[in-house]
């Protein structure tokens, strides 16, 4: 790893590429982030996106529950929208949508973890007062 490179970032990229599920655009983005990481110039927004994207992909591979947005589209019977058909800005819009979906998945995971921690602490408090 070159000076400035972060092993955690490299591991996330390696694991994502190792799934074999990345499309050409995702592979290109991951390789760009890898190069920036090795150069010590990886943007904090890209790092946050990478962590959320990794969490989402790995959770879906592990059979984690789907998010609320996924439930909404399945309940209404709507098909997933192909954001690539959005016209001239379609690629940018699709990338932003993917970023927001990854951020949402990460936020939902944090909320679930916080709820679990709250329940754990409540049970400890209940035991202490008995």
Q: What is the pTM of this model?
A: 0.48
Residue 3: per-residue pLDDT: 52
What are the CA-CA distances from residue 39 to residues 9, 15, 67, 89, 112 (Å)? Answer: 12, 20, 35, 30, 35
* Residues 6 or more apart in contact with residue 34 via CB below 8 angstroms: 9, 10, 13
pLDDT confidence of residue 90: 60
What does the pLDDT look like over 9-27, one tens digit per residue? 999 999 999 988 889 999 9
Distance separating alpha carbons of residues 114 and 51, to the nearest angstrom: 18
How much is the pLDDT for 7?
A: 93
pLDDT score of 41: 95
Q: Distance (Å, rounded) from C-alpha 119 to C-alpha 29?
A: 39
Low-confidence ranges of the chain (pLDDT < 70): 1-4, 63-91
Q: What angle do CA 121, 127, 130 make, to 5 degrees?
A: 140
End-to-end CA distance of the chain: 54
The per-residue pLDDT for 61 is 77
Q: Which token pair is 118?
A: 């709250």
């Amino acid at each position: 790893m070159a000076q400035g490179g972060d092993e955690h970032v490299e591991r996330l990229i390696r694991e994502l590429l190792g799934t074999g599920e990345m499309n050409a655009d995702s592979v290109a983005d991951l390789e760009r982030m890898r190069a920036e990481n090795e150069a010590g110039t990886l943007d904090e927004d890209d790092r946050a996106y990478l962590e959320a994207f990794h969490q989402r992909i790995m959770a879906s591979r592990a059979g984690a529950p789907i998010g609320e947005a996924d439930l909404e589209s399945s309940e209404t019977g709507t098909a997933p929208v192909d954001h690539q058909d959005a016209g001239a800005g379609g690629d940018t819009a699709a990338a932003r949508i993917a970023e927001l979906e990854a951020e949402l998945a990460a936020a939902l995971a944090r909320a679930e973890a916080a709820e679990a921690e709250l329940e754990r602490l409540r049970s400890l408090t209940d035991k202490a007062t008995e």
